[in-house]
Structure 1
Amino acid sequence: MTRCVDVAIVGGGIAGSTLAIVLGRAGVKVAIVERAGVFRDRVRGEALMPWGTALARELGVLDALAASSCHPLPIWQTYLDREPREPYDWRPDVPTGDGLWGVSHPGLQEVLLRRAIDSGATVLRPAKALRRTRGGAGRIVVPVQCDLGQTEIRARLVVAADGAESGARTWIGAKTVRDPVHQFIGGCLIDDVDLDPDAAHVGYVAGGSAMMFRQASGKARAYLVARPETAQSMRGPAVAPALIAACARALPEGALRRARAVGPAAFFPGADIFADRIAGGGVVLIGDAAGANDPTQGQGLSLVFKDVRELSQLLLSTDDWQTAIAEFARLRPRWYEPLRAHAMWEAPLVTGIGAAADAARERVARAKELNPLRGGYGTIHALGPDHLPVTEEARRHYLGEDLVELGLATTFGQ
């Protein structure tokens, strides 16, 4: 059986389903190929930053958060040596008044995929898109393997939203690029956390940090950002209790005394993974398939909604979709590269140890005190990466290396 549509989307996760919803509302015929029969809990980014929340609102999918066990976390509570510091409320600094959300990734995936169907999308699931070939009349043919055999989709455009290890990259001859790894991030879904459920919690210790993002179910996603050797020491069957114990040492006494793992635990490299090209031959990559930001920064979901907004606006503004995807590929570095640069600047500050690392953190703290914006990078989690320059001057300003009062600073971590 052949299905003829306007857009074939490979991957029915948050990126693919949200794009299908937006295009479907505009009358675009969409088919989604999703590999997973059921979305299961895995370790991944489950924080939606305020700028991403604002984008979800603009795209008309904000209500899907509350419908999928996501939970608003308006307060950012940090700890140093287990002692609480001044809490920060995101909302006054965000023009839309939006805050951070703790996200149930599989829950949000299911809700958005159902809404994509309600918006008119055809969904093949579980199914695998095998390749991309050229058909007649300007159509692209995507053979699809389903439980009942092989079918095919004929579309004007293929959007690959199949994740950081995207197989569709090879369809356009793209190579996968991996930035150097400075740190690792481990995660686990846990229950019985004794911390304020309406705040995100971040505790700093020597060589890393621990983060807690509560979900509406009462469970919380725990993350540990650690040096590579620390992460390596926790690998094995006891990774979950080791991760919880390490997180507990960064948070107030007793906060995790009853905590227990209720999902898988694993560590992943804290580095960007991206394609060296993201459009060509009637195919365009979005979300993690185009470029996944270092997961320690928690910007991945916000980046997804940014990609969906920009690509959908381009597609709906013209009938020349090949020009539209070429323009998307040209523009995406404007919001992706600042996120990538910021992650590389931040990594040594979080996991660095020793006198040079301490001095660098002191310098950054002073720069933040004097100018919280620091060229816009100081508010990147609240307001996003738009219009931020990726320059040596911007790096030095963000890190406080241009502070005359502290003299000439070292370029720690560079």
Structure 2
Amino acid sequence: MADSLTLPHSRLRSSGGTPIVLVIGGGASGNAITILLRRAGIAVDLVEARPDWNATTGSGITLQGNALRVLRELGVWEQVEASGYAFGSLGVTAPDGTVLFVAEDIQTGGEDLPATLGMQRPRLQQLLINAVRASGAGVRLGTTAEALEQDADGVSVRFSDGTSGRYDLVVAADGLNSATRAAIGIAEKAEPTGMAIWRIAAPRPESVTRTDLAYGGPAYIAGYCPTSENTIYAYVVEACRDRAAIDPATYADEMRRLAQGYGGAWPEITEHITDPKKVNYTWFDRLLVEGSWHRGRVVLIGDAAHCCPPTMAQGAAMSLEDASVLAELLTSGRDWDDELLQGYHDRRISRVRTVVEASVQIGQWQLDGVRDADIAGLVGSTMNLLKERP
């Protein structure tokens, strides 16, 4: 099934002409860099493996200020603000719902943006899809890049439908299990951290006006985030199990069993954990590609280069920042050479490494049963670092 905006069979850059970029993957980072490059007048083709462009999957997402800053750069901030639920604090509770303390969130995007905003993930994806379409990029859905052949001047790509194209640069935004990453000889793969998460979208209890996290109880973490005036997404984190051994028909039963051990707003939330098709179960993974994030004229972005558990809610933010930094460099007037692409990596690696390692550490402390872990200190130092522009 192909989108109505299709790619020509071959696109060649003439001498001194406008460069042509292929973006593989239509998630947050792929959509974002497409929008930014098109704004600069660069021709972009985007291919996405899923025919539905991931427009209906996912429950909710927590976006902190540094993510909102990039969404403002993309021109969708006003729609995001209208669609989501902004708040500025984080509550930590006992499993029975007793509030232990409330901390003010750090405004990593600056004082003119909320510290945190929750929204329904499909709504965010739809806003980005609309912006990609409005940009005039070529789009093909249900299509993958099957083969890439590089030379000194560009990349020849053969697609899954038998068509082909010629590009000056290929941006691999095809996610955690990136086939493009493997195709260009980067061997790193995502590794499970030992934790897994149950997620569901649910109606918002009137009392839920921020994220609250309960540590301990039947699971390691139980939390929720308001995603609009009427909705939240709720989640429970436990040790990972063999996914093949869990019948998807029991997903609601499994999540409800864990959630019933929590007080506060949880009894009201648990009433809505009934449909197994609305419950998602996912392992936490870790990935950080060491060394360069490019090979020749193919460059990794977002989860294809790095991913981390959502213990700090920074995964999407790191992907969006990648897009912003890479687009800035590609539109700077400099040659698209090894120096520029290595410069992209060099600007990102320290910041991304800090987030990945902190996110993994928070989970590891819980797996190891460390009772005096300074989670608040680690989160605070990391978030203060993220106030600086990438």
State the Cα deviation string for residues 217-271 of structure 1 (Å, max 9, x = none). 7332222121236999976531223213423423416332422356543433323
State the Cα deviation string for residues 104-134 of structure 1 (Å, max 9, x = none). 2232222212212212211112222112113
> Are the counterparts in 2 of residues 169 and 278 from structure 1 also a CA contact under 8 Å?
no
Matched, 1:201 2:217: no
Matched, 1:3 2:11: yes
Q: Matches of 1:192 and 1:269 in 2, distance apart?
A: 25
Matched, 1:141 2:156: yes
> What is aligned with 1:400?
none
Q: TM-score scaled by structure 1?
A: 0.78
Q: Where do residues 97-176 of structure 1 align in structure 2 (5 Å cutoff)? A: 97-134=113-150, 138-146=153-161, 150-176=162-188
Q: Where do residues 175-186 of structure 1 align in structure 2 (5 Å cutoff)? A: 175-179=187-191, 181-186=193-198
> Are the counterparts in 1 of residues 60 and 232 from structure 2 also a CA contact under 8 Å?
no
Answer with 312-321 or 223-232: which moved more.
223-232
Residue 232 and residue 90 in structure 1: after superposition, are their counterparts in 2 closer, same or farther (change >3 A)? farther
> What is aligned with 1:378?
380
CA deviation after TM superposition for structure 1 residue 155, in Å: 1.2
Aligned residues: 368
> What is aligned with 1:220?
232
Residue 40 and residue 265 in structure 1: after superposition, are their counterparts in 2 closer, same or farther (change >3 A)? farther
Q: Matches of 1:296 and 1:254 in 2, distance apart?
A: 23
> What is aligned with 1:259?
272
What's the secondary structure of 2:117's corresponding residue?
Answer: strand
Residue 112 and residue 257 in structure 1: after superposition, are their counterparts in 2 closer, same or farther (change >3 A)? closer
> Are the counterparts in 1 of residues 62 and 313 from structure 2 also a CA contact under 8 Å?
yes
Q: Matches of 2:119 and 2:109 in 1, distance apart?
A: 19
Residue 110 and residue 141 in structure 1: after superposition, are their counterparts in 2 closer, same or farther (change >3 A)? farther
State the Cα deviation string for residues 322-355 of structure 1 (Å, max 9, x = none). 23212212333211111122123212333444xx
Q: Where do residues 14-93 of structure 1 align in structure 2 (5 Å cutoff)? A: 14-38=28-52, 39-43=54-58, 46-66=61-81, 69-81=83-95, 82-90=97-105
Q: Matches of 1:45 and 1:319 in 2, distance apart?
A: 38
Matched, 1:279 2:294: yes
Q: 1:330 aligns with which of 341, 346, 354?
A: 346
> What is aligned with 1:13?
27
> What is aligned with 2:4?
none
CA deviation after TM superposition for structure 1 residue 45, in Å: 7.0
What's the secondary structure of 1:325's corresponding residue?
Answer: helix
Residue 88 and residue 20 in structure 1: after superposition, are their counterparts in 2 closer, same or farther (change >3 A)? same
* Uncovered stretches (5+) of structure 2, i.e. residues with no partner: 1-8, 13-18
Residue 331 and residue 205 in structure 1: after superposition, are their counterparts in 2 closer, same or farther (change >3 A)? same
Q: Matches of 1:385 and 1:24 in 2, distance apart?
A: 27
State the Cα deviation string for residues 12-39 of structure 1 (Å, max 9, x = none). 1211111111111111111101112212
> Are the counterparts in 2 of residues 47 and 100 from structure 1 also a CA contact under 8 Å?
yes
Identity over aligned residues, as a percent?
Answer: 21
Q: Where do residues 308-319 of structure 1 align in structure 2 (5 Å cutoff)? A: 308-319=323-334
State the Cα deviation string for residues 118-154 of structure 1 (Å, max 9, x = none). 122111122221121136x8121112234xxx32222
